[in-house]
Structure 1
Amino acid sequence: MQLSLASKRARIAAAGAALAVGAGLYTAGAAGAEQSAPRTDKEIPNLTKVTDKIKAYYGDTVDKNGQHHASPDSNYAKQVADIEKKAKAQLEKVVKNQAGKGKKGARPAIVLDLDDTTLLTYNYELQVGFHFTPESQDAYLKSTDMAPVFGMPQLVNWAQSKGITVFYVTGRGEHQRDWSVRNLKNAGYKPAADPAHFYLKNKQTPPAYLPCGAKCTTVEYKAGTRKHIESQGYRIVANFGDQHSDLQGGYAQHTYKLPNPMYFLP
């Protein structure tokens, strides 16, 4: 996460959640909503009701240690499964077409975000009351593994088994690499999350292939990284993310938006 995004994420998390649960995903309207002041209280989503809707959508359960878990029978899980089904059908076509090409052409690859794309932040978000801070995220990631997004390890591992190279591109900071690698492995992801396949944000020494350096927006950082991956002889056949900013900027033949009513990142 970028520090510059943290406060913005905290301010609009609940409003974005209400829009996502109710009338659709927060796209162009999100920026305008943040800039305009409500005329009456009736224009403001009730935070308690929004939180209740989020819990119902994820099928919230709480274990004896007070940890929150999403249910595999929840509407969230069903929506994710439908997206994964479509993605696998597309990737099966890629595998079939690639078999006819032999070793000619660019190698197929997929790119995945981490938070709420491969790993589910639901328990963390409930613990911090949907109020993200870099400090609380560090403390959580250092000591706790996030659960995998339902079905994603199976899809990702299948893609690798069919010769599709897997890359992870996240807005998490470089200092969170070891915790993130541990979590991906423990969550069941088999593709190596090594430095050649796992990209995190490095604001101290940004890579030369990003002209925006340490000041990249999410779109610039992620699109620029995908461009770099393709420059190494890969063809990104699918890009997975829970934010529209994960998917914008090109350098992917297909994009898959996973649901996330908990926060919005431009």
Structure 2
Amino acid sequence: MKARLIPASSKSVKTAITVALSAVLATAGVAAAAHSDPAPTPHYERVGSEPHNLDQLKAQINAYYNGYPDASGHHHIGPHSRWAADVATQIGKARSYLEQRLAHNAPRIPAIMLDIDDTSISTYPVNADFDFGGGPDASAADAQANADNTYPVIKPTLDLAKWAHAHGVKVIFITGRHDNHTTVTRNQLTALRFPIDGLYLRPKSNPPSYLPCGTTCTAIPFKSNTRKYLEQAKGYDFIEAIGDQVSDYAGGYDDRGFKLPNPMYNIP
């Protein structure tokens, strides 16, 4: 059967073609708009007792540090972060209290205790690199950053330590790191210009007698018993203890504790 050819000059045919083309173009326009204007990300809402969304929490942590990756994907703390502002506020309070105690009711041998990780240096870069997930690769990267001394110093803590040392206050570091990292840790702190009047790490073997928990000490008994030993054996009076965890200053043998912000992990 042969197709019937309709003369192009026919008015009815021209009208039909125009309508058809308009419909096709309109449909194409709608499709193009759909591709060029993606639907906005729906707002996440928790249901019942559902916890906060993990991806959103990670994004909030990165925003808190004003974090950003460099060309190689390695993360850095951005300038003017809310984290830095909160650190400065807490260290300012610690400095004011220390000044007040030295001016009034100063002990015979005043001392302060400082934690290291996320108190004296920030481990945010490696934690962010590994999406705050930890694991063997993250632990290896953390050890390498400590050995290479690439973690950023927390300058308000450094300034406080220098001021305290210059005013006759013993600056004692008590850290949850194991004592097989003593040399690396001392070199790291020295390179960052921290004054060190004492450095105590958790024992992996042959624990000292002042640690009743031995090699199994968790943060609170290790740090508080170490402060107790220094108070009783050397006469140190810890005016304050500063750390990013409550466990850094809990357990006694310090007059006041100051907590620095750390939303990345918790050490009970």
TM-score under structure 2 normalisation?
0.75
CA distance in 2, matches of 1:95, 1:49: 44
**1:48 is matched with which residue?**
55
CA distance in 1, matches of 2:230, 2:72: 42
Quickly say closer, same or farther: Cα 1:202–1:186, change in 2 above 3 A: same
Select which of 236, 243, 255 maps to 2:238: 236
Q: Which whole-Å deviations, capped at 9, do the CAs of 1:37-93 have from their partners, x for residues lacking one?
A: xxx796133222111100110111333443322234111111111111111111111
**2:156 is matched with which residue?**
151
Equivalence map 1:109-148=2 (5 Å): 109-133=111-135, 135-136=139-140, 137-148=142-153
**1:83 is matched with which residue?**
90
Q: Which whole-Å deviations, capped at 9, do the CAs of 1:125-149 have from their partners, x for residues lacking one?
A: 1122223346423343233431112
**2:212 is matched with which residue?**
211
**2:191 is matched with which residue?**
186
**1:18 is matched with which residue?**
none
**1:170 is matched with which residue?**
175
CA distance in 2, matches of 1:106, 1:170: 25
Quickly say closer, same or farther: Cα 1:188–1:65, change in 2 above 3 A: farther
Letter in 2 for 1:122: Y
**1:227 is matched with which residue?**
228
Q: Which whole-Å deviations, capped at 9, do the CAs of 1:83-112 have from their partners, x for residues lacking one?
A: 1111111111122236xx7xxx53000001
Q: CA RMSD in A?
A: 2.1
Q: Mind listing any 5+ residue stretches in structure 1 that lack a counterpart?
A: 1-39
Letter in 1 for 2:123: T
Are 1:96 and 2:103 counterparts? yes
Moved >6 Å (runs of 4+):
none
Number of residue pairs the alignment of both structures matches:
219
Select which of 72, 76, 81 maps to 1:69: 76
Quickly say closer, same or farther: Cα 1:41–1:202, change in 2 above 3 A: farther
Does structure 1 retain, via aligned residues, the 8 Å contact 2:122–2:152?
yes
* 2:174 partner SS: strand
TM-score under structure 1 normalisation?
0.76
Deviates more, 1:151-160 or 1:68-77: 68-77
Letter in 2 for 1:138: A
Between the aligned residues of both structures, percent identity stands at 35
Q: Mind listing any 5+ residue stretches in structure 2 that lack a counterpart?
A: 1-46
**1:35 is matched with which residue?**
none
Letter in 2 for 1:131: G
**2:26 is matched with which residue?**
none
CA distance in 1, matches of 2:166, 2:229: 24
CA distance in 2, matches of 1:42, 1:253: 39
CA distance in 1, matches of 2:99, 2:91: 12
Select which of 92, 108, 116 maps to 1:106: 108
Residue 215 of structure 1 deviates from its aligned partner by 1.8
Does structure 2 retain, via aligned residues, the 8 Å contact 1:72–1:150?
no
Does structure 2 retain, via aligned residues, the 8 Å contact 1:77–1:150?
no
Deviates more, 1:141-150 or 1:123-132: 141-150
